[in-house]
Every structure is written in structure tokens, then in C-alpha cells.
């Protein structure tokens, strides 16, 4: 008997799905209003923390369908120590092209094997590139998946055999059983 799939997160409309990449963020860093300093808009410096790079690379996941968004959310949540809300933004592939940013598929490191194949790195990011990405994201772009919905997505992925509950932190595994 197949379990019913929970549906949370972004669902593109129509049959054509544009390339979108998911990046986990923290909603509180994006909810603050932008400041106006003189005639210049100033962005929140804290938001840069959600776009921090390692070796000038930013990790993202291909999430061009609602189902893929849900899989990526489950995978990212499975890497946590406890059950909590999960916030993310979707970055349009067209935006990356406009900013002359390149992506490269690199195996991810989650407990969800099929999601690991959806992992990409945005390559050769400069400070200007990171800032351009930050400027393109607004508080309205941040999607919050609530704790109960994260739990349902994790339980579904475990039930379907995509995630092994024995690989999760003991605290997270226990919270999924209750």
C-alpha cells in the first residue's frame, strides 16, 4: 500500500517548470526591513550569513518541481539534530544566468540518496556575486515549512525508504516517533 504523499512547499504552476535551486535560509534574517541610508537602500548584513560560501562556492539543490522541493526539504531536515521549521528560498536559474554565475552538479551529503544527485554548487562566487544574489531575495521569497509539515515530509521519506531513520540523530529520530 502506497502512502499518500504530503504536499508542502513551492508548487510551480503549469506544465513547464523553470530551473530553480533551493537554498536553506533563516527567515528572521530576511524579515527585517531594508534601511534607507540617504538615497541608498541598505540590506541587512545578517542575510549574508545565509549565503556564506566555502572556497567561493554556494551549495544549492535543484528544486524545479513541488515534489523535488519536498524531497530536498526532507533531506535537509534529516541532517539536523532536532525537528524544527525549515526556511528556504528558490533561486531562479535565469537569475544565475543574468548574473553570469555558473552551476556545477556535485554529489550532496544528505541522508537522502536521490536528493544528493540534485546538489549543485554555484561556482566562483565573488563578494559582488553574493551581494547580487542577496539583493534579489526579499522577505516574501522566504518559504517556511512548519515543524508539523517537516515531520510529515521526513516520515514520508522514511516510510518510502529514501531516508534510513537509523542514520538520523537520536533526538530527531525520537521526535519522529512521537
pLDDT in tens, 124-166: 999 999 999 998 888 889 999 999 999 999 999 999 999 999 9
Q: Tell me what pLDDT residue 178 has.
A: 75
Confidence of residue 18 (pLDDT cuts 50, 70, 90): confident
Q: Tell me what pLDDT residue 133 has.
A: 92
The answer for residues whose C-beta is within 8 angstroms of residue 175's C-beta and 6 or more apart is 82, 83, 151
The answer for residues whose C-beta is within 8 angstroms of residue 89's C-beta and 6 or more apart is 22, 23, 25, 30, 137, 141, 142, 143
Q: Tell me what pLDDT residue 38 has.
A: 61
The answer for residues whose C-beta is within 8 angstroms of residue 72's C-beta and 6 or more apart is 22, 61, 63, 88, 115, 118
- pTM of the full structure: 0.85
Amino acid at each position: 500500500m502506497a502512502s499518500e504523499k504530503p504536499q508542502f512547499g513551492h508548487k510551480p504552476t503549469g506544465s513547464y517548470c523553470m530551473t530553480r535551486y533551493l537554498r536553506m535560509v533563516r527567515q528572521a534574517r530576511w524579515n527585517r526591513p531594508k534601511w534607507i541610508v540617504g538615497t541608498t537602500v541598505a540590506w541587512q548584513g545578517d542575510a549574508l550569513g545565509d549565503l556564506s560560501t566555502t572556497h567561493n562556492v554556494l551549495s544549492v539543490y535543484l528544486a524545479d518541481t513541488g515534489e523535488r522541493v519536498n524531497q530536498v526539504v526532507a533531506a535537509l531536515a534529516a541532517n539536523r539534530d532536532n525537528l524544527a521549521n525549515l526556511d528556504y528560498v528558490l533561486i531562479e536559474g535565469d537569475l544565475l544566468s543574468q548574473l553570469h554565475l555558473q552551476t556545477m552538479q556535485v554529489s550532496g551529503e544528505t541522508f537522502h540518496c536521490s536528493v544528493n544527485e540534485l546538489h549543485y554548487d554555484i561556482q566562483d562566487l565573488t563578494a559582488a556575486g553574493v551581494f547580487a544574489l542577496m539583493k534579489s531575495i526579499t522577505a516574501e521569497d522566504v518559504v517556511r515549512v512548519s515543524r508539523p509539515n517537516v515531520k510529515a515530509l521526513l516520515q514520508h521519506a522514511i516510510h518510502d525508504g529514501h531516508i534510513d531513520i537509523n542514520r538520523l540523530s537520536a533526538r530527531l529520530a525520537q521526535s519522529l516517533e512521537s
